[in-house]
Amino acid sequence: MTDFLSALASFFSYPFVQKALLVGSLISLSAALLGTTLVLKRYSMIGDGLSHVGFGALAIATSFHIADVAVGFALPVVVIAAFFLLRLSENSKIHGDAAIALISTTSLAIGYMVMHKNGTNVDVGNYMFGNVFTITDSDAVFSVVLAIAVMLLFLLFYHKIFSVTFDESFSKAIGVSPALYNGMIAVLTAVVVVLGMRMMGTLLISALIIFPSLTSMRFCKSFFSVVTVSAGISLLAFLLGILLAHFLDFPAGSTIVVINALFYLAGMIFSKIRSRL
Amino acid sequence: MALITCEALSLGYEGGTVVSDLSFTVEKGDYLCIIGENGSGKSTLIRALLGLKEVSRGKIRYGDGFSRQGIGYLPQQTLVQRDFPATVTEIVCTGFLNRKRFSFFYSEKEKKEAADIMDKLSVSSYKEKSYKALSGGQQQRVLLARALCAAKDLLLLDEPTVGLDPLMSATLYRVIQQLNREGLTIIMVTHDMEAALRYASHILHLHKDTSFFGTKEEYDHCQVCAQFLDEGETPHD
Ligand SMILES: Nc1ncnc2c1ncn2[C@@H]1O[C@H](COP(=O)(O)OP(=O)(O)OP(=O)(O)O)[C@@H](O)[C@H]1O
Ligand SMILES: [Mg+2]
């Protein structure tokens, strides 16, 4: 037991671990806050599509040796893609989900093509699955600032975001513009996706956004409780995930997703049992 | 200038025109009832007045007293996802958002006002319940309470009494009449002719080409309406 505690203490004393904990916690929290709205608006696929666009953008940035500013390059690209995907999914004349699938697979294909052509030293696995322990200092600062900005904006406009999520026509009638707040959600999601990509990877980031909300929706009845509980779940899953990953030598991103999946399962069983009582 | 002036207004969908060449005015403090058969364009008109539906021809002009910050609205139908997590209080309070900028907390005054309105509409007993777990009529009351929270100058109601029990309908008419006397402008779509003729100051009767607009007294003497009332009675033969 003392062995374990001292191992834990030494784990937390590494600067790279502290950095990972800080960045990861903030990203997990901001992802979970946005998740509720995205799930309720049926926008979950947008998060997934954006992560693929992000992969393409990161791959291109790295291949052209602008890796230092890769995130700075990917961010505007993904924000623009977010607006585009939002328009597609709002326009009922096009099959929004099919269009998102087209855009995300195309970005993935272009990204991999560019990577393949420009040398073999780029680690594709790192982009696909991320690594929270190898975040650079400048990326860490960037991530902390943006994640805090995302959370602040969300809290500041919390009720308006709720209103627009619940009932767009009423909101528009009283002057709370759905276009504005949907756009804001799309931009914030784009930011979280880009930040989360370094940590979770392209393939796993959307799990970080939607899992905690889906779990808390199984047993919370108010919007406020869903948002706060999912933030808590997300943080807990991140901390547990990173510890397990370290001590059992699992990849961190995948471990976090698996723990989120287990939480979801537990939530499902809990709500089933409660409804029987 | 009047609160709302419609000039030669036409509204339609891709399938064709629904309302054509309609003109009427709403003054501050009016109680306008919009009536007409199903599909005559009442909801479409309300949505156009709110800017939720574009105008195909003609014009809607808004007077000085008109502001988004004082509008309350009850839609005819609100499609809410089956599993949406939201309590009654959370929904009712969104009515205040037309007057708030940053909004993490509602003021004590707003909480008090919401509580009063929920009392009036007998919503208080389930105010912490989940919206999705309520009956249809209870949900209608919640959306009415939200509309009342939002309405400071103008209240638009699209068939507010649908799904309400007779007692609640009567209460609702009384509450709205009271608010109207205090200066709130009311625009209400209804199929309840008796209530329309009892409470309204003005009537707008939508009918393909021969729509009628005027005061309630003028309406009593017009042709279309007599016809409409007769039609309504024929099935009793
Ligand atoms: N979204 C839409 N797309 C196409 N046509 C529509 C749409 N909404 C309504 N319409 C058509 O417009 C006409 C007017 O509809 P509206 O809902 O305004 O009628 P209403 O007077 O409110 O009827 P009700 O008494 O049934 O509520 C109808 O013929 C309807 O078919
Ligand atoms: Mg209607």
ipTM of the predicted structure?
Answer: 0.89
The Cα–Cα gap between B35 and A186 comes to: 41
Give me the percent of chain B exceeding a pLDDT of 70.
93
Backbone angles phi, psi at B158, to 5 degrees: -105, 100
Q: Does the beta carbon of B93 lie under 8 angstroms from any beta carbon of chain A?
A: yes
Give residue ranges of A with CB < 8 Å to any B CB.
40, 155-160, 162-163, 166-167, 169-176, 217, 220-226
Calculate ∠ Cα B85-B91-B95, nearest 5°: 155
A48 assigned to some structural domain: yes
Rounded to the nearest integer, the mean pLDDT of chain B is 89
A275 assigned to some structural domain: no
Find residues 125-184 of chain B whose CB sits inside 8 Å of chain A.
129-130, 133, 143, 146, 150, 156
Residue of B47, B98, B143 with shortest CB distance to A175 = B98
A38 assigned to some structural domain: yes
The answer to whether A263 and A255 have CB atoms below 8 angstroms apart is no
- Read off the pLDDT band of B233 (50, 70, 90): very low
- Residue B188 pLDDT > 90: yes
- Residue B235 pLDDT > 50: no
What per-residue confidence (pLDDT) applies to B116?
95
What per-residue confidence (pLDDT) applies to A66?
63
**Into how many domains does chain A fold?**
1
What per-residue confidence (pLDDT) applies to A93?
61
pTM: 0.90
Of residues A184 and B65, the one with the higher pLDDT is: A184
A3 to chain B nearest CA, in Å? Answer: 45
Q: Is A123 exposed, middle or buried (0-12, 13-18, 19+ CB in 10 A)?
A: exposed
The answer to whether A230 and A248 have CB atoms below 8 angstroms apart is no
A111 assigned to some structural domain: yes
pLDDT tens for each residue of B135-165? 999 999 999 999 999 999 999 999 999 989 9
User: How far is CA A62 from each of CA A127, B56, B124, rounded to the nearest angstrom?
Assistant: 11, 51, 59
A32 assigned to some structural domain: yes
Which are the contacts of A232, defined by CB distance < 8 A and separation ≥ 6? none
Residues in chain B closer than 8 A to A170 (CB atoms): 73, 75, 78, 94, 143, 146
Residues in chain A closer than 8 A to B94 (CB atoms): 159, 162-163, 166-167, 170-171
The Cα–Cα gap between A81 and A70 comes to: 16
- Residue B39 pLDDT > 80: yes
Which structural domain, as residue segments, surrounds residue A63?
A: 2-270
- Pseudo-torsion of CA B152, B157, B161, B162, nearest 10°? -140
What per-residue confidence (pLDDT) applies to A133?
83
What per-residue confidence (pLDDT) applies to B115?
96
B198 to chain A nearest CA, in Å? Answer: 28
The Cα–Cα gap between A25 and A14 comes to: 16
| Smallest CA separation from ligand 1 atom 18, residue | B41
CA of A203 to the centre of ligand 1 (A): 44
What per-residue confidence (pLDDT) applies to A61?
81
The Cα–Cα gap between B94 and B113 comes to: 13
A277 assigned to some structural domain: no
A23 assigned to some structural domain: yes
Q: Quick one: closest CA in B to A178, which residue?
A: B52
Residue ranges of chain A with per-residue pLDDT less than 50:
none
What per-residue confidence (pLDDT) applies to B228?
60
What per-residue confidence (pLDDT) applies to A134?
79
A72 assigned to some structural domain: yes
Of residues B218 and B205, the one with the higher pLDDT is: B205
Q: Best residue in B97, B101, B158 to probe A by mutation, most A CBs within 10 Å?
A: B97
What per-residue confidence (pLDDT) applies to B174?
94
- What atom in ligand 1 is closest to the CA of residue B47? 18
The CATH number of the domain holding residue A12 is: 1.10.3470.10
- Read off the pLDDT band of B229 (50, 70, 90): low
What per-residue confidence (pLDDT) applies to B237?
37
